Structure formats: C-alpha cells, structure tokens
A and B are shown apart, each in its own frame.
Chain A
Amino acid sequence: EVQLVESGGGLVQPGGSLRLSCAASGFTFSTYWMHWVRQAPGKGLVWVSRINGDGSRINYADSVKGRFTISRDNAKNTLYLQMNSLRAEDTGVYYCARSYFYVSGSFAFDIWGQGTMVSVSS
C-alpha cells in the first residue's frame, strides 16, 4: 500500500526548533518530488517546500525561507523538515505529499500523509 506517515510534531516555544519526518512506503521514493504543506487551525492549505528525487533541487515558500530546511534520505525512504526560529504563525498541521507527474503533463499531489501537529507557544 502506498503510504506516507508523518511524525515529530509537538509543542515548542517561539524561537525553538523541531524536525519533522515523513516515512514513505509502497513506492519507489527516490523517483518522486516530495512536498510539505501546512494548515493553520481553521485555515486553508499553504505550500511550504519541495525537494526533487535526488535532493539537488529545492524550493521554499517566502514565509519559511532561511528558517526551514527540507531534506531526504532515500536509503531510509524518509523526508524531513528541519524547522528553526519557529514563530506562533508556524502553528498548524504539517502534511507531507507526493508529487506525481501525469501523462497529460501535469503534476499533482496524489498521496498525502495524515499530518503532524506543530504548536508554537510559550
């Protein structure tokens, strides 16, 4: 079964750090772009970052640039998000998602994890 399972969320003080993990199974992890998407409580989805299959291409949303680092370990089939200098506005559920390239020439997030909650508060 194709599956993504996030972990590592929790309560952290402003200015603190947290590392999220996303364990992939059921597919050839190293051949897919992977993404982090977050959702503040009661709010909409916001894309955070992406990384290509071999880790050589990375993009970030402006709101996290310089504070968050995305990475992957293809030997462990795991995606990571290192979050530093956390702010209250970083609070929310963090989802990892697989990006699939369809024959029609389109990319879409076809597989999502269940999410892990990050709370930034003193």
Chain B
Amino acid sequence: QSVLTQPPSASGAPGQRVTISCSGSSSNIGSETVNWYQQLPGTAPKLLIYGNNQRPSGVPDRFSGSKFGTSASLAISELQSEDEADYYCATWDDSLHGWVFGGGTKLTVL
C-alpha cells in the first residue's frame, strides 16, 4: 500500500487530454512540493514535472502539473502514442523522514 494514492490506470485517444490524480496527506503533499516521473516500458524513470508544476528542459508543454491542498494532478494534453507509460507522483514525507511514491498509473493510448 503506497503512501500516495494514484489510480492504477488511465486511458485516452490520441489528441485527447487526460489527467492523473495523486492523493496524499498533510505530512507529504500538504506540506511539500510534488514531482512526477514517466517510466516507459523497460526503461528507468524520467523526471517529468518538479516543484508541482515546473517542467525540466526538454519536456513538452503538453505535460502540466498542479497541486491543491493534499492532492496533485498531472495533465497530458494532445495525447500521443509515445505517451503510453507508467506515471508516478513523489514527494518528501515529513513524518516518515523519507521520499514516498504513488503506486503508479499505467496510461494507455487507445
């Protein structure tokens, strides 16, 4: 059972917009910034969003992040087939004194 809760799956057709939620508590998302990672099949994770809503250089602006209270969301617009991957939210937990990840959301592009 992960400290951060994500839906196990999400899907959308090419060109559509999908959102992935990440729910936490006051000791993690409620007091810290959230990062999002993309893991393509058989590869290492890649940083997608940091600081709730900032994109590292090279990440398309189709990817956006937001946070409100103890929840965060990742939005992907103009879905493309290459977006099919697992997506993870992560943040620091002040009570556990460690980093915590969501269980991951498998995105399928229909």
Contact = CB atoms under 8 A, between A and B. Distances in A.
Interface in A49-102: 50, 59-62, 95, 102
Contact of A109 (B33, B37, B97): B37
Interface in B46-83: 46-47, 50-52, 54, 56
B102 interface: yes
Contacts of A112: 44-46
Contact of A106 (B2, B45, B51, B102): B51
A107 interface: yes
Interface residues of B, number: 27
Contacts of A62: 96
Contact of A35 (B51, B99, B103): B99
A26 to B, nearest CB: 16
A108 B51 contact: yes
Contact of B98 (A47, A102, A106): A47
A109 B98 CA distance: 13
Nearest to A97: B45
- Give chain B's interface secondary structure class: strand
B45 A102 contact: no
A22 B83 CA distance: 29
A50 B44 CA distance: 18
Given A45-B45, A106-B54, A112-B46, 9 more contacts: A47-B100, A61-B98, A62-B96, A104-B33, A108-B47, A109-B37, A109-B90, A112-B45, A115-B44
Interface of A: 35, 37, 44-47, 50, 59-62, 95, 102, 104-110, 112-115
17 contacts: A35-B99, A44-B88, A45-B101, A47-B98, A47-B100, A50-B99, A62-B96, A95-B44, A104-B51, A104-B54, A106-B33, A106-B51, A108-B51, A109-B90, A110-B56, A112-B44, A112-B45
